[in-house]
Amino acid sequence: MVNMAEPPMPQDVVSPDGLPMPDDWSLPEPPAAPELRPYDLRCEHRDTPLGVGTAAPRLSWRLASDRRGDAPAGHRITVRGPGDVLAWDSGWIDGPDVSAGYGGAPLASFARYTWQVEVRDGGSARSWFDTGVLHADEWRTAWIEHDPETEPPFEPPTDDREPRTVRTSHLPAPRYFRRVLDLRPASAVRIAVTARGLYELRVNGRRVGDGELTPGWTDYRQRIPYQVYDVTDLAGDGPLCVGAVLADGWWSGSLGWDGRRQAQHYGRRPQLLVQLVAEHPDGTRTVIGSDGRWKETTGPLRYADLLMGESYDARLEHDGWDLPGFDDSAWAPARVADTDLTVLVPSVTEPVRVTQDLTPVERTTRDGRTIVDLGQNIAGRVRLTLRGAPAGTRVTLRHGEALTSDGDLYTANLRSAEATDHYVAAGRAEETFEPRFTVHGFRYVEVAGHADVEVVGRAMHSDTPVAGEFSCSDATVRRLVSNIRWSQRDNFVSVPTDCPQRDERLGWTADAQVFLPTACYNADVAAFFTGWLADLRSAQTPDGAVPDVVPHVMTERNGTPAWGDAATIVPWHLYQVYGDERVLRDSLPSMRRWVDHIERHNPGLVWRERVGSHYGDWLQAGVRTDRDVLATAYFALSADLTARAAAVLGEHETHARYADLRARIGEVFAREFVAPDGRITGDTQTGYLLALAHSLVPADLVPAAVAHLVADLERRGRRLTTGFAGVGLLGPVLSEHGHADLAYALLHDDRYPSWGYSIKRGATTIWERWDGWTEEAGFGPVAMNSFNHYALGSVGAWLYAGVAGLGQEEDSVGFRRPRIRPLVGGSLRWASAAYDTPLGRLDSRWEVDGGTLRLSVRIPPGAVATVHVPTTDPASVRESGEPVTGAEWTGSAVVCRVKSGRYSFTSAW
């Protein structure tokens, strides 16, 4: 790409292998454990969460042991509540479980519970969780807002009026709210808070929490999450000042390609909701909610918009506004806007956080403008430091993903999103500005208005815990892995979005479902997708159709093949990976309604009717996959997953009904789309991949279908043509059918279209389209050309499960039966991966040295793994120097069954 060719890998750190790792998603090593030991305790898939709102939260833990063969034989959980009173003693529960639902006395709201898990013949570990509002009648609060009738017109300073564009001229100033309370004496103070909009909470002059863009984005018409904070340490011994800054956010700001606040998908102006709960030494509680006694006004934030950016005038700051002694007599009373609290739900996910700072790798100045290159495309914002700027100095920050051939900032692909921040200096010797209520997708920042500045990039994303890491001997593949991980973090911003920069940033359902297997290897996304699925279910139409985007805004499009199928694919995959049946229990009715919707309108079982927008294999390269083939393949998959989910839940009649439907769809697919010579209608790579991956080709025709797929790849010079629906299937299907060499050829390719093509042109994230930039055409279509989009990065799951071999048997759940089957090949000398399964750490590393293959693996306690040791001579296989006995020879590998522990294999290669 223009001005992005071959930069050094930014923000390098050195891996244990001595090779550069371009991001900080390092996976911490499990604790040393001479005996079986629980660690990484979670409540509702989260570490020490505040505001747990379920009556029987799920408690889970991982296991570590340095001894081979260790497996959990039983566990005991004790939970203690306020006053160290025992709330639950599970007693010793026999079995291998590493999770349990709370089964003790009813939990109290706004209380801390400590819990301990002991494992039989092993150690113990402790953690805690705080509850939120467990009963709806415990709310004592109301939604408050700015009353427009009480505010005089704002007049900016006469020396320098506020700059506005057509798109920002209507944006309102965020509101500052405050109230002073006397809760003394208080032994503990907690605050539940949320907004219709975005908020930042402050107590006694200090910011509360580290979440950004809270409360996050959900379908606000159905559910608005609240957060709980323990502010005991901030309360002190005197009066308590609670303050909040309130901005439009997704509620009433610019959203999607409307690009206009007037669209106001949810409401006209933002609203705030706060409830304080103070515990006193005598055991009593005081509960105070937001009401008309709160005061509010405007301040230095002149506007804040997710798409347009933020404007801040430091000359208008209210020094000490969030402290008890501040004079707020000129502030107006807040207006009670609403008392409907039925939409309030506890937050179930980790918030968006700033997780990494990036220092510039290059800086150029010309024509009074400075362009800073962070070396990495990110979602986030910058922290700007000015020195020696006179009062009234206006500094403008513009953001972009690339530069033009002239070295200017490229912003055409942002469409109507301005992605511009403004700061007006107060005249201090040094000032720092960092936006709070906007997020940009960018690598480059243009700074105009003052020369003596320092810029730091701040990467923001939903703080999903790191779960996996992959590395190998090939620098381009390592860069690909980094690009995939960055695109995941940059687009997991409260919801799984399609891009972080332009005027879209929507939760497209197909993008999420095709990328989910990769996402699960990179991070623990159980809580993240649990929240998103709640919005998907609530957005389903009465007829059962699923919207193309979730949360459902902007478009009435629904029922699209591959997009609506997220309703079945996402919950099933989450269950397979994390082993939590609740996701199936919550989702099975939705899964059934979706499949019934398709069947009802397509009784012939070829999905041609009610296909919504029918995007097909979106953004495929130079071909058009038959849309009936794609749709019917997804119909079969959704019916199959619904049957499986019903079987897991013991709903036998439901299982039989959808298993029979799947079988009939398969028969129709074979009759309609599979020719006697194995050719699939349309003769495209994605057509073959879908049919083979989902067992839709009659067994006797599978070799012929595979041959047609291979022939297409060879005919094109071993180039791919797949779009979103097919790209993640290339590696698994080719490898499964004996053509790993072709999968590796695609992995290493740097011609158009390929992953290597973008990397060769300096990409640091995954491009939305293969032709985002080409030598022939330059930049791709500005109407839709993101350089940060994870869908085409769905190859990541194959790197973990295929190249490194970290998979699980088809009927395994929660990696209780791992399958270590590495693919030695391509130009790789070695590859390694590690993954935190629900049981504990699973990892593998293979290396070819001369004629010897070395394979080291680690299996977590409680798992029984199948290890495939590649070799050309089965008699050469050794484990820790000893011959392997009782193993199976497949013709290309020796297969061993092993229990937990570390193993080191060697073989002839």
Catalytic residues: 504, 768
**For 891, which DSSP code?**
S
What is the full DSSP assignment across 758-775? HHHTT-SS--SSTTSEET
From the list 235, 260, 243, 239, the residue with the least C-alpha distance to 299 is 243
Tokens of 326: 């501040």
Tokens of 519: 């996402």
Alpha-carbon distances, residue 565 vs 124, 516, 619, 715 (angstroms): 42, 13, 18, 32
Q: Does 215 sit behind a cis peptide bond, omega within 30 degrees of 0 on the bond before it?
A: yes
Helices then strands, each counted (H, E), the chain: 16, 51
SS3 431: strand
What is the full DSSP assignment across 236-302? -SS-EEEEEEEE-HHHHS--GGG--GGG-SS-SS-EEEEEEEEE-TTS-EEEEE--TT-EEE--SEE
Q: Does 883 sit behind a cis peptide bond, omega within 30 degrees of 0 on the bond before it?
A: no
Largest CA distance in the chain: 88
Tokens of 203: 């107590």
CA–CA separation, 526 vs 575, rounded Å? Answer: 9
CA–CA separation, 81 vs 839, rounded Å? Answer: 27
Backbone phi, then psi, for 639, in 5-degree steps? -65, -40
CA–CA separation, 788 vs 382, rounded Å? Answer: 18
Other residues' Cβ atoms within 10 Å of the Cβ of residue 238? 12
Element (H, E) at 225: strand 224-230
Q: Which residue has the tokens 């805690």?
A: 128
- Phi-psi domain of 907 (left: phi exceeds 0; alpha: psi -120 through 50; beta: other): beta
Q: Which residue has the tokens 């041959």?
A: 707
For 23-133, where are the E strands, in sequence order?
A: 37-43, 58-64, 74-80, 86-89, 93-94, 99-101, 112-119, 124-130
Cα–chain-centroid distance for residue 628? 31
CB 572 within 8 A of CB 641: yes
CB 104 within 8 A of CB 88: yes
For 84-93, the CB contacts below 8 A with 24+ separation are: 87/113, 92/120
Cα–chain-centroid distance for residue 839? 22
CA–CA separation, 756 vs 750, rounded Å? Answer: 4
